[in-house]
A = this chain, B = another copy of it.
Amino acid sequence: MVKRISVVENIFSANDRLAAENRAMLDQNGVFSLNLMASPGAGKTSLIEHTVTSLAGLFQLAVIDGDIATSLDADRAAAAGAVAIQINTGGDCHLDAVMLNQALVKLNMENIDLLIVENVGNLICPASFQLGTHKNVLIASIPEGDDKPYKYPSMYKGVDALVINKIDLLPYVDFNMNYFREGINILNPAVEIFPLSCRSHEGLDAWLNWIQNIIQPQEQPD
Protein backbone atom coordinates (compact mmCIF):
# COMPACT_ATOMS: atom_id res chain seq x y z
CA MET A 1 0.00 0.00 0.00
CA VAL A 2 2.79 2.43 0.86
CA LYS A 3 4.30 1.82 -2.57
CA ARG A 4 1.03 2.56 -4.30
CA ILE A 5 0.52 5.84 -2.43
CA SER A 6 4.03 6.94 -3.22
CA VAL A 7 3.56 6.24 -6.95
CA VAL A 8 0.31 8.23 -6.96
CA GLU A 9 1.98 11.14 -5.16
CA ASN A 10 4.79 11.17 -7.69
CA ILE A 11 2.33 11.31 -10.58
CA PHE A 12 0.49 14.29 -9.07
CA SER A 13 3.68 16.13 -8.21
CA ALA A 14 5.10 15.59 -11.73
CA ASN A 15 1.80 16.81 -13.15
CA ASP A 16 1.85 19.93 -10.97
CA ARG A 17 5.41 20.77 -12.05
CA LEU A 18 4.44 20.57 -15.70
CA ALA A 19 1.26 22.54 -15.02
CA ALA A 20 3.45 25.34 -13.65
CA GLU A 21 5.51 25.21 -16.86
CA ASN A 22 2.35 25.44 -18.94
CA ARG A 23 1.23 28.47 -16.93
CA ALA A 24 4.59 30.16 -17.46
CA MET A 25 4.38 29.57 -21.24
CA LEU A 26 0.86 31.00 -21.32
CA ASP A 27 1.83 34.04 -19.27
CA GLN A 28 4.93 34.74 -21.34
CA ASN A 29 2.72 34.85 -24.42
CA GLY A 30 -0.06 36.90 -22.83
CA VAL A 31 -2.60 34.10 -23.26
CA PHE A 32 -5.47 33.93 -20.78
CA SER A 33 -6.77 30.39 -20.42
CA LEU A 34 -9.83 28.50 -19.18
CA ASN A 35 -10.10 24.80 -18.32
CA LEU A 36 -13.70 23.83 -19.09
CA MET A 37 -14.95 20.70 -17.31
CA ALA A 38 -18.35 18.97 -17.21
CA SER A 39 -20.30 15.73 -17.47
CA PRO A 40 -20.80 14.34 -20.96
CA GLY A 41 -23.46 16.41 -22.69
CA ALA A 42 -23.63 19.33 -20.24
CA GLY A 43 -22.84 21.73 -23.07
CA LYS A 44 -19.09 22.36 -23.14
CA THR A 45 -18.86 22.48 -26.92
CA SER A 46 -22.03 24.54 -27.30
CA LEU A 47 -20.74 27.10 -24.80
CA ILE A 48 -17.43 27.22 -26.64
CA GLU A 49 -19.21 27.78 -29.96
CA HIS A 50 -21.17 30.72 -28.52
CA THR A 51 -18.11 32.15 -26.78
CA VAL A 52 -15.95 31.94 -29.90
CA THR A 53 -18.64 33.39 -32.15
CA SER A 54 -19.33 36.26 -29.74
CA LEU A 55 -15.74 37.19 -28.88
CA ALA A 56 -14.00 36.51 -32.20
CA GLY A 57 -14.25 40.17 -33.15
CA LEU A 58 -12.52 41.28 -29.95
CA PHE A 59 -9.91 38.62 -29.32
CA GLN A 60 -7.90 35.94 -31.05
CA LEU A 61 -9.24 32.64 -29.72
CA ALA A 62 -7.89 29.12 -29.60
CA VAL A 63 -9.56 25.93 -28.42
CA ILE A 64 -7.82 22.74 -27.36
CA ASP A 65 -10.29 19.84 -27.28
CA GLY A 66 -9.74 16.77 -25.19
CA ASP A 67 -11.78 13.73 -26.13
CA ILE A 68 -11.36 10.00 -25.85
CA ALA A 69 -12.35 9.59 -29.52
CA THR A 70 -13.34 11.64 -32.60
CA SER A 71 -12.60 15.27 -33.51
CA LEU A 72 -16.27 16.31 -33.50
CA ASP A 73 -15.75 18.98 -30.84
CA ALA A 74 -12.64 20.50 -32.39
CA ASP A 75 -14.45 20.62 -35.73
CA ARG A 76 -17.28 22.62 -34.12
CA ALA A 77 -14.84 25.03 -32.43
CA ALA A 78 -12.98 25.55 -35.72
CA ALA A 79 -16.23 26.13 -37.59
CA ALA A 80 -17.11 28.83 -35.03
CA GLY A 81 -13.87 30.65 -35.83
CA ALA A 82 -11.21 29.52 -33.36
CA VAL A 83 -7.82 27.96 -33.93
CA ALA A 84 -8.65 24.40 -32.82
CA ILE A 85 -6.37 21.57 -31.76
CA GLN A 86 -7.68 18.11 -30.92
CA ILE A 87 -6.18 15.89 -28.24
CA ASN A 88 -7.43 12.31 -28.44
CA THR A 89 -6.63 10.82 -25.06
CA GLY A 90 -6.88 7.27 -26.41
CA GLY A 91 -9.29 6.24 -23.68
CA ASP A 92 -7.90 8.32 -20.82
CA CYS A 93 -10.67 9.90 -18.80
CA HIS A 94 -9.11 13.33 -18.26
CA LEU A 95 -6.56 15.75 -19.62
CA ASP A 96 -3.32 16.20 -17.73
CA ALA A 97 -0.55 18.77 -17.88
CA VAL A 98 1.55 16.57 -20.23
CA MET A 99 -1.22 16.37 -22.82
CA LEU A 100 -1.85 20.11 -22.62
CA ASN A 101 1.86 20.77 -22.98
CA GLN A 102 2.01 18.70 -26.15
CA ALA A 103 -0.87 20.71 -27.59
CA LEU A 104 0.52 24.09 -26.47
CA VAL A 105 3.78 23.60 -28.36
CA LYS A 106 1.75 23.17 -31.57
CA LEU A 107 -0.05 26.46 -31.00
CA ASN A 108 1.35 29.77 -32.24
CA MET A 109 0.63 31.43 -28.91
CA GLU A 110 1.96 34.87 -29.81
CA ASN A 111 -1.25 35.58 -31.70
CA ILE A 112 -3.69 34.21 -29.12
CA ASP A 113 -5.55 36.21 -26.43
CA LEU A 114 -7.86 33.54 -25.05
CA LEU A 115 -7.36 29.78 -24.93
CA ILE A 116 -10.26 27.55 -23.95
CA VAL A 117 -9.33 23.99 -23.03
CA GLU A 118 -12.25 21.58 -23.30
CA ASN A 119 -11.56 18.74 -20.90
CA VAL A 120 -12.89 15.19 -21.30
CA GLY A 121 -16.57 14.77 -20.34
CA ASN A 122 -16.24 13.52 -16.77
CA LEU A 123 -17.23 14.92 -13.35
CA ILE A 124 -14.56 13.05 -11.42
CA CYS A 125 -11.06 12.55 -12.79
CA PRO A 126 -10.36 15.99 -14.35
CA ALA A 127 -10.69 17.54 -10.86
CA SER A 128 -7.45 15.80 -9.81
CA PHE A 129 -5.22 17.10 -12.61
CA GLN A 130 -4.25 20.76 -12.75
CA LEU A 131 -3.37 21.81 -16.30
CA GLY A 132 -1.78 25.19 -15.63
CA THR A 133 -4.72 27.16 -17.00
CA HIS A 134 -5.76 30.40 -15.26
CA LYS A 135 -9.33 29.53 -14.34
CA ASN A 136 -11.14 26.25 -13.81
CA VAL A 137 -14.73 26.37 -15.03
CA LEU A 138 -17.42 23.74 -14.44
CA ILE A 139 -20.57 23.48 -16.52
CA ALA A 140 -23.48 21.93 -14.66
CA SER A 141 -26.71 21.36 -16.55
CA ILE A 142 -30.28 21.42 -15.29
CA PRO A 143 -31.32 17.92 -16.47
CA GLU A 144 -28.35 16.38 -14.60
CA GLY A 145 -30.22 17.06 -11.37
CA ASP A 146 -29.89 19.24 -8.31
CA ASP A 147 -27.89 16.72 -6.23
CA LYS A 148 -24.66 16.91 -8.20
CA PRO A 149 -22.68 19.23 -5.85
CA TYR A 150 -23.30 16.76 -3.02
CA LYS A 151 -22.30 13.74 -5.13
CA TYR A 152 -19.27 15.19 -6.93
CA PRO A 153 -17.81 17.50 -4.25
CA SER A 154 -14.20 17.53 -5.50
CA MET A 155 -15.25 18.94 -8.84
CA TYR A 156 -17.51 21.61 -7.33
CA LYS A 157 -14.89 22.58 -4.73
CA GLY A 158 -12.07 23.25 -7.14
CA VAL A 159 -13.56 25.60 -9.70
CA ASP A 160 -13.45 29.39 -10.07
CA ALA A 161 -16.65 29.65 -12.10
CA LEU A 162 -19.78 27.56 -12.47
CA VAL A 163 -21.98 27.76 -15.53
CA ILE A 164 -25.49 26.36 -14.96
CA ASN A 165 -26.53 25.47 -18.50
CA LYS A 166 -29.91 24.48 -20.00
CA ILE A 167 -32.00 26.73 -17.73
CA ASP A 168 -34.59 26.69 -20.54
CA LEU A 169 -35.38 23.11 -19.40
CA LEU A 170 -36.28 24.18 -15.83
CA PRO A 171 -40.05 23.98 -16.50
CA TYR A 172 -39.75 20.37 -17.73
CA VAL A 173 -37.59 18.70 -15.06
CA ASP A 174 -37.57 18.39 -11.27
CA PHE A 175 -34.75 20.66 -10.19
CA ASN A 176 -34.70 22.51 -6.87
CA MET A 177 -32.42 25.49 -7.45
CA ASN A 178 -32.25 26.31 -3.73
CA TYR A 179 -31.05 22.80 -2.87
CA PHE A 180 -28.48 22.93 -5.68
CA ARG A 181 -27.20 26.35 -4.61
CA GLU A 182 -27.01 25.31 -0.95
CA GLY A 183 -24.66 22.51 -1.99
CA ILE A 184 -22.48 24.93 -3.92
CA ASN A 185 -22.49 27.39 -1.05
CA ILE A 186 -21.20 24.75 1.36
CA LEU A 187 -18.41 23.63 -0.97
CA ASN A 188 -17.39 26.77 -2.78
CA PRO A 189 -19.06 29.97 -1.56
CA ALA A 190 -16.83 32.28 -3.63
CA VAL A 191 -17.45 30.62 -7.01
CA GLU A 192 -18.82 32.88 -9.77
CA ILE A 193 -22.15 31.52 -11.02
CA PHE A 194 -23.64 31.96 -14.49
CA PRO A 195 -27.10 30.47 -15.07
CA LEU A 196 -27.67 30.43 -18.84
CA SER A 197 -28.99 28.55 -21.82
CA CYS A 198 -26.88 27.93 -24.90
CA ARG A 199 -30.10 27.07 -26.72
CA SER A 200 -32.19 30.17 -25.85
CA HIS A 201 -29.12 32.43 -25.34
CA GLU A 202 -30.54 33.67 -22.01
CA GLY A 203 -27.75 34.59 -19.59
CA LEU A 204 -24.89 34.30 -22.09
CA ASP A 205 -24.02 38.00 -21.81
CA ALA A 206 -23.00 37.75 -18.15
CA TRP A 207 -20.65 34.88 -19.00
CA LEU A 208 -19.12 36.75 -21.92
CA ASN A 209 -18.72 39.92 -19.82
CA TRP A 210 -16.92 37.93 -17.13
CA ILE A 211 -14.38 36.66 -19.65
CA GLN A 212 -13.92 40.08 -21.24
CA ASN A 213 -13.36 41.74 -17.86
CA ILE A 214 -10.72 39.19 -16.89
CA ILE A 215 -8.71 39.28 -20.09
CA GLN A 216 -6.50 42.29 -20.32
CA PRO A 217 -6.86 42.90 -24.03
CA GLN A 218 -3.59 43.95 -25.65
CA GLU A 219 -5.47 46.34 -27.92
CA GLN A 220 -8.72 47.94 -26.84
CA PRO A 221 -11.30 47.71 -29.59
CA ASP A 222 -12.68 51.05 -30.78
Q: Which residues of A contact B (CB under 8 A)?
A: 39-41, 67-70, 72-73, 91, 93, 120-125, 128, 141, 143-145, 147-148, 150-154, 166, 168-169, 172-174, 199
Contact = CB atoms under 8 A, between A and B. Distances in A.
* A41, A67, A123, A168 pick with most chain B CB within 10 angstroms: A41
Contacts of A72: 147, 150-151
17 contacts: A40-B145, A40-B148, A41-B145, A41-B148, A68-B124, A68-B153, A68-B154, A69-B152, A70-B150, A70-B151, A72-B151, A73-B151, A91-B124, A93-B93, A93-B124, A120-B124, A121-B123
Contacts of A120: 124
Contacts of A168: 172
Contact of A173 (B93, B123, B147, B169): B169
* Chain copies in the assembled complex: 2
The main secondary structure of chain A at its interface with chain B is: loop
Given A123-B122, A124-B93, A151 B39 contact: no
Contacts of A148: 40-41
Most buried by B among A123, A141, A166: A123
B91 A154 contact: yes
Contacts of A153: 68-69
Given A39-B41, A68-B154, A73-B151, 18 more contacts: A39-B39, A39-B40, A40-B144, A68-B153, A69-B151, A69-B153, A70-B150, A70-B151, A93-B125, A120-B124, A121-B124, A121-B152, A122-B122, A122-B124, A125-B125, A143-B143, A172-B172, A173-B199
